[in-house]
Amino acid sequence: MTPYDTHATTDPFARSISAFESLMHTLSGGDASEWTHAELEEHLDAGGRELLRQLLQDHLDLRARREEQQIRASGRPVVMGPEGQLRPWRETEHSRWLASVFGLVRVTRVAHRGPGVCNVHPTDAVLSLPAGRHSMGLRRLAVTESVRGSFDQAQQAVERRCGKVLGKRRLEELVVAAAVDTDDFYRARIPVPCSRQMPLVVQVDGKGVVMRPEALREATRRAAAKAAGGHRARLAPGEKPNRKRMATVACIFDIRPAPRRPHDVIHPPGGRSGERRARPGPKAESKWCTASLIRPPEQVIADAFDQAQARDPKHLRPWIVLVDGARHQLDLISAETSRRNVTVHVLLDFVHVAEYVWAAAHAFHKPGTPEAETWAADHLTAILAGQAARTAQEMTAQAHQEGLSAPRREAVDVCHRYLVGHLDQLRYDTALDNGWPIATGAVEGACRHLIGDRLDITGARWGLLGAEAILRLRTLVSNGDFDAYWRFHLAREHERLYPAPKQGTYTLTA
C-alpha cells in the first residue's frame, strides 16, 4: 500500500502528512542516493514549497469546517454589515483564491447575505484577507525585491521562490499600493530624544529622475515637446534633453561635536609633516531621510523641519542647515525658519566652494602643477579661517595685476561672485570651532543611494506613481523603518477593508 493511503480521511492534515511522507519516501529511495547535493536542494526546494502550500491549504479547510460547525451549533448568529444592516441568510461553500508565498490556495468560508446588500464574510476579516488575490506576505516579498532591483528582476525573483503567482504589471501596482501609508506612519512616529549638547543637522539637495513624457512637470514637458519637433540627432554641448523630473531629498541627523582647524580639512602646501594627525570630522547619528518627486520642494523641506521640530521641540539645540548654494533652496529654508521662528546656522557645502576656488586656481596656473595646488590650498585655508571676503578681493586683484585674458578672467569673476554672494553662509571658522559638519556628504550619499542606485539604472523611464512609490519605500528601508512600517500598513489596510459597523458615524473626542 502506498503512503498516500495510510491516514484516515477525517484527519484535516491528511494530505499534508501524505505529501511529507511521499517526500521522505523519495529521499530514502535508491534514486536519491545517487543525486548530488545540488539535485537534492532542487528537489527539496520544489517539494518543500508544495508541502508548505498544502499545510496552508489544509489549515484553511479546517477553519472552514469549524466555521460551518459553529454556525450550525449557534443557530442563527447575528451578523451586521459595515453599514449596520443585518444579514439574516447564510450560504456555505463560498470560496476565493489566495496567491501566497507558497503558491495558490483556496479559501472557503460562509457568506452572510441580506436583501439588497453585499455579502459579508466574517472569516475574511478574521484572516484579514486582502482585496485582491495576492497575500500580504507575497506583497511584502514583491516590495522587498522591487526596491532592490528592476521590476523585471523582482518578478523573476518572486517566480523563483513562489512559482508563477505574480505578473510584472500587477507587481508594479502592488508596489504603488504598498507606499500609501508612509506619510501617516511618520506623522505617528516619535523620534528618540537626544541631548541638547548634540547639534541637529538638516541637509537638502535635489536629483533628477528620467521620466516618461506624461510624468514630466508641465514646463519640462513643453520644452521636451518643442525640442522633439526639430528631429535633431544629437544635442548641442551643454544642452539639456528635458526628460528629467527633479526629486527633492532632505536628510536630518544628530552629531557629536568634533572641533577642527582649517588644516584638518585642507592639506597644507607640501603635504602633512606627520607630527600631528588630522582630526576626524563629526559623524552622523540617527539619520533620517525624506524624498519626493510629487511633493514640491517646500513641502519636503517642511517635512524635514517637522522631523527636526519633533527632535528638538523647544529649540534648545543648535540647528545647522547645509545646502549646495541653490538660491531657491536658500529662499525656501529662510521662509520655513521664519514661519517656525527658529534660529538656524546656514552653511554652504565646502566641496562646492572648493570647486569654484580650484577653477579660479587653474586661471592662474596650469592644472596639475604644484603652483595650482598651493594657490588653491592657501585660499581654501583662508576661507576656512573666516576670511572669505578678503580671499575674494585678493583673487580679483591678482587677476587685474596679471592682466588675465577674458576667458581665464571669467573663472575668477565667477568665483568672486559666488563667495561675495554667500558670505553669510561661509562662516566655516565658527563651524569648525563648534565641531559642526561643513559638507553635504550625507544628503549626497542619500541621493546616490535612494535615487541613483535604483531610479537611475540604465534604460529606466519612470511613471510618476511608480517612481514615487519606489522612492518612498527605499527611504523607509534606508531609515531602518520598513519592518515597523509594514506592521503599520497591515493594520491600516485591515481598517480600510473591514471597518467596524457604522464606523463612519463615529465622532472623535479629545
Q: List, for residues 362-408, the tens digit of each pLDDT value.
A: 999 999 898 999 999 999 999 999 999 999 999 999 999 998 888 89
Choose the weakest-confidence range: 117-126, 241-250, 266-275.
Answer: 266-275
Identity at 106, one-letter amino acid code: R
**pLDDT above 50 (res 14):** yes
User: CA-to-CA distance for 83 and 506, rounded, in angstroms?
Assistant: 12
Query: Per-residue pLDDT tens for 166-180?
Result: 999 999 999 999 999
The pLDDT value recorded for residue 248 is 95
Contact indicator for 104, 98 with CB cutoff of 8 Å: yes
What confidence tens digit (pLDDT) does each residue in 486-500 have? 999 999 999 999 887
pLDDT of 83 over the 90 cut: no
Task: Tell me the average pLDDT of the chain.
Answer: 89
Q: Which of left, alpha, beta for 238 (phi over 0: left; psi -120 to 50: alpha)?
A: left
Q: What average pLDDT does range 450-472 have in this prediction?
A: 93
Which pLDDT belongs to residue 505? 41
Task: Work out the average pLDDT over 128-132.
Answer: 93
Res 7: pLDDT: 45
pLDDT recorded at residue 240 = 58
Q: Is it the case that residue 219 has pLDDT exceeding 70?
A: yes
Contact call for residues 331 and 355 (beta carbons, < 8 A): no
Given this model, what pLDDT does residue 59 score?
Answer: 96
pLDDT at 10 over 70: yes
Residue 415 above 90 pLDDT? Answer: yes
Residues 6+ apart with CB under 8 A from 295: 248, 303
- Report the range of poorest mean pLDDT among 22-26, 86-90, 106-110: 86-90
pLDDT band at 220 (very low <50, low <70, confident <90, very high): confident
In the predicted model, is pLDDT for residue 275 greater than 80? no
Tens-place pLDDT, residues 190-217: 888 788 889 999 999 999 999 998 888 8
Residue with cell 511584502: 140
Laid out side by side, the sheet with 200-210 consists of 284-292, 244-255, 200-210, 319-323, 345-348
Q: What does the pLDDT look like over 22-46, one tens digit per residue? A: 999 999 988 899 999 999 999 999 9
pLDDT digits (tens, 9 = 90+) for 132-170: 999 999 999 999 999 999 999 999 999 999 988 899 999
- State residue 255's pLDDT score: 94
Q: Kindly tell me if the per-residue pLDDT of 81 is higher than 60.
A: yes
HSE, side-chain direction, 13 A CA sphere, residue 490: 16
Residue 2: the pLDDT is 45
For the segment 332-353, the average pLDDT, to the nearest whole number, is 94
Write b or e for each residue in 122-131: b if 16 or more Cβ atoms lie within 10 A of its Cβ, otherwise e. bbbeeeebbe
**Residue 63 cell numbers, joined:** 477553519
Q: At what angle do helices 168-178 and 464-479 cross, to 10 degrees?
A: 60
Q: What letter represents residue 475's amino acid?
A: T
pLDDT higher at 271 or 423? 423
Q: Which residue has the cell 447575528?
A: 78
C-alpha span between 472 and 182 (Å, rounded): 7
Q: What are the distances in angstroms from CA 447 to CA 2, 87, 301, 336, 474?
A: 61, 54, 15, 22, 11
Question: What is the separation, in whole angstroms, between the first and last Cα of the chain?
Answer: 69
The pLDDT of residue 6 = 44
Residue 63 or residue 190, greater confidence:
63
**What is the per-residue pLDDT for 9?**
54
- CB under 8 A, 24+ apart: contacts of 221-227: none
DSSP labels, 14-28: HHHHHHHHHHHHHHH
Percentage of residues in the chain with pLDDT exceeding 70? 92
Mean pLDDT of 66-81: 83
Write the DSSP string, 478-495: HHT-HHHHHHHHHHHHHH
pLDDT, residue 504, reads 44
pLDDT for 233: 62
Give the pLDDT score at 66.
Answer: 92
